Structure formats: C-alpha cells, structure tokens
Structure 1
Amino acid sequence: MLVRRAYIPDALRPRTPDERDAWPFTVPCVAELAAKGLTFDRPLTFLVGENGSGKSTLVEAIAEGFGLDARGGRAGRKYGNARPKTPLGEVLRLETTTAGARMLAGPRTKKKGFFLRAETAFGLMEAVSGMRGYWDEDTTRMSHGEGFFTVFDTMFRERGLYVMDEPEAALSFTSCLRLVALMHQLSQTGAQVVCATHSPILAATPDADIIEVGEHGYRRTKWEELELVDHWRRYLDNPASYLRHIADS
C-alpha cells in the first residue's frame, strides 16, 4: 500500500454557500470526501457508479495528488503542454504510507505509477510511443484493445500507484479477464490500484475493495450487491424486459 487516505484539509474545504454550491462540490461523492475523506483499505480499490456520479472526478484528483498528469501518463512525466490541476486536484491531499511518502519525496525518476484515462489514452499513446521509458511498439497499427494492453504490459509492472478511469472502454470480455489477472497480480506485489469502472468483470477482481458512488455519496459494498451487477444479471437473463421500454418509446 502507498496511499491510505484522500482528503481535503480543513483550510481548503469550501466554507461559503457559493463555494459549496460550485462544481465539483455539488457532486455528492465529492461533498462526502470534503467532509470526511476517503480511506483505502486494500491494495485494489474499485469506484463503481453511473455516468455523472463523480467517480472520474475522484480518480483524476487522486492521480494528481500522486504527481500523475490528469490527462494520463506515468509518474514523474507529463506529455503535452502543462495545464492547471483540476479543481478537486488543487485541494485534495493524500495521506501516504511510509513507502508512499518515501516514493513521493524521492527524485522524479523514483516515482512509480501510471494514470490510464480512457478518453485521452489514444492521444497519449500516439504522443509517447517510441519514447524512452515507454514502449517500443507502434500502437497506431494496433486495435484499441491491443494498444491498451501494450500500455498495461509495459507500464504496470513495478511497485507504484496505478490509477485507471474506465479502462474497459477498449477491451473485450477476454481482455477484461486479462486485466483482472494483471491487477490482482499487481496488488500482491506492494503496488496499489485505484480504478473507476462500469465493468462487473473488473469489479469482481479477487480481494478488491468496492466503493459504490452515486446520489448517496459513496459506500462500501460487495460485488453481488452492486446495482450494476443486478442490472446486468437481469438484462442477460431477459433482455426483452429492458428493450421493450426502448422499443415502445
């Protein structure tokens, strides 16, 4: 474990009504984090929720707190032009373990980790393919899923913090299972993974801590109790029960 908790210090919390009514503090999970922080109890954590629930906002800020570019990339490096941190990233802080503190306090070359963000991953791959410290393969000649796994296989190896935002976007069922195996292996080696996902396959990774994000804020839950899992079970068992509402509209 490298990070124990994400929080906003008292001095940086929104205090006035105008501050509390400004994005992202109007998002329930961000408001709850501002009030009490978010702890990490296991090496592998999944944030699961609907679009707009705030899970991507959380993982972006966690990545920034560890020195990762919010657009994606490896620790200690940035690609493209520098830009300000996200609003939550500006105020969020990480409480680290001894190992995490040592890594962050060391030179840039000692920082280990990677942020894979689905919506910017292809631009990142095009920008850094062939650069020293990344991968040699030409990902522009690969399918999206193959490109993602080039990143995973090359960059997700050492003890570090690996943050992912919807990595399943380019992956098939079989590739999702490969990623499950990789994340589980990483979590057994001293690395830490924080992943926002819509995938019931990824969320089923053994020994993971699952946090469901929504209008309630966030809460820890079991895989079989996720609303996402319930919907997928119902749909696969009887697609017509969902599709008839679409066809009739």
Structure 2
Amino acid sequence: MRIAVIADIHGNVRALEAVLKDLKHQAPDTVVNLGDCVSGPLWPEETAALLRDLGWPTVRGNHDRVVAAGAVPLHNRTDSFTEAALSAQSMAWLGALEPAIRLSDEIFLCHGTPRNDNAYLTEDVVEGGARHAHEHRIVERLEGETSPVICCGHSHLPRLVRLHVSGQLILNPGSVGLQAYEDETPTPHQMATCSPHARYALLDNLEGTWSVSQRIIDYDWAAAAKEAERNGRSDWAHALLKGYMQPDP
C-alpha cells in the first residue's frame, strides 16, 4: 500500500501540476489532500477545477472554511481574492469538504489538529517563529485520537514525529504551493522552509510497518511569483521565489 499525502496547495496550480507529474512515476494507490486547497492570489479556480476532477479524499483547511463561508471581509486580502475568483461549483465543492477524515482504522487525516483546523499539531509559536513542540504538548493536542498514523498540514513544514508514549506516527508532508508565510494566530509569526520547491510525502506500508519518504519537486516558481505580483501581492511573490519572507526593513 502506497499513499501520497499532499497539503496546503494554496491555489498554486503550477506546483500542483508538477506534483501530479511526479505522482505518475511514484504510482501511489491513493492520494489524500489535507486542505487549504485554493486560498491565495494565484489560480484559485483553476486549482479547484483540477481537484474536483481528481476526486481525492480532501480535508477542509482553515482557509477553505473561511472562503466557503462567504462574505470574507476585504481586509482579509488572501481569502477575499479567492472568494471572488471561485465559481459557484467550486464554492459548493469547498463547502462540502469534511473537517477530518478517517481514511482507515490506521490513518486519520486532519488539517491542523484533530479538532482545530487553525492550530499547529507539532509546532509551538515562539518569538515570531516556531519550534518543535514537546511530546506531551502534541499528545494534549491529539485529544485522545489513537490512530497509528496521523497526517496533518497547516504549518507548511515537512515533519515526521514518532510519539514515544504510543508509537503513533505524525506526518506533515509540507506544502505543495507556498513555502513561507506570515500569520497572526496565535501571535504574529513566520513559517519558512527556505527553498521554493513544492513538497509532498509518500506513506508506504511494508509488511505491516509504515515508512515515509519526502518528495521535493522543481516547478516554475518564477511564474507563480509573477502571478502573485500581477495580483498585487509582492509578499507572496518573494515567498514563492525564495522560500522565506522578506526581512523587516
């Protein structure tokens, strides 16, 4: 059994197309999507249309939830741009996504934590950035979820954690479409992988044991940055080109 795990596309259809090309060579039995599918100043509708056709099991991310609810305030520039760009069909698809998916007895899919799509599972926000959370904090955030494999996104940081107390594996595949961002929740901070490559992960079950490999994929990030600039988002353009945010002046 081979499962491809993707997350946080953020409307970057160019990065998604590169991942799809790589998936043809990896030949997974199934592909799962952990959410934040379309929100961003790039190609929301094109991304949504492609994902609708693919029909992957897809979790609702925090941005998916905000956009699907409608009436996004204009000061939320990313989600309001996305709402305006989506067709009625894509809005309906986004609104029908589930907040979590139990893929099997062994695998649980969520965006942030099992109960909160806007919280990090394996990171603590500190001093404007993030550090790896201690095991007891991760266990608290699981809120009793006992699946042997838990797949989450949201932080955009590729990570694999094995919990000593339970043997559970927690996998964050990283982000397909956005390798750095700023957020105000729970306090102002930045996340960055420090390269512009698209990322996803493969879960392989070999004789009852799960193994994980990370995929790091080239794509035309200059085209993505140009589209962000065209849509008035130089901050996104820098993140897409560099994999980190612009330094403070």
Give the structure with the higher percent helix: 1
TM-score, normalised by the number of residues in structure 1: 0.29
TM-score, normalised by the number of residues in structure 2: 0.29
Greater relative contact order (Cα 8 A, min sep 6): structure 1 or 2?
A: 1
Give the structure with the higher percent strand: 2
Select the structure of larger CA radius of gyration. Answer: 1
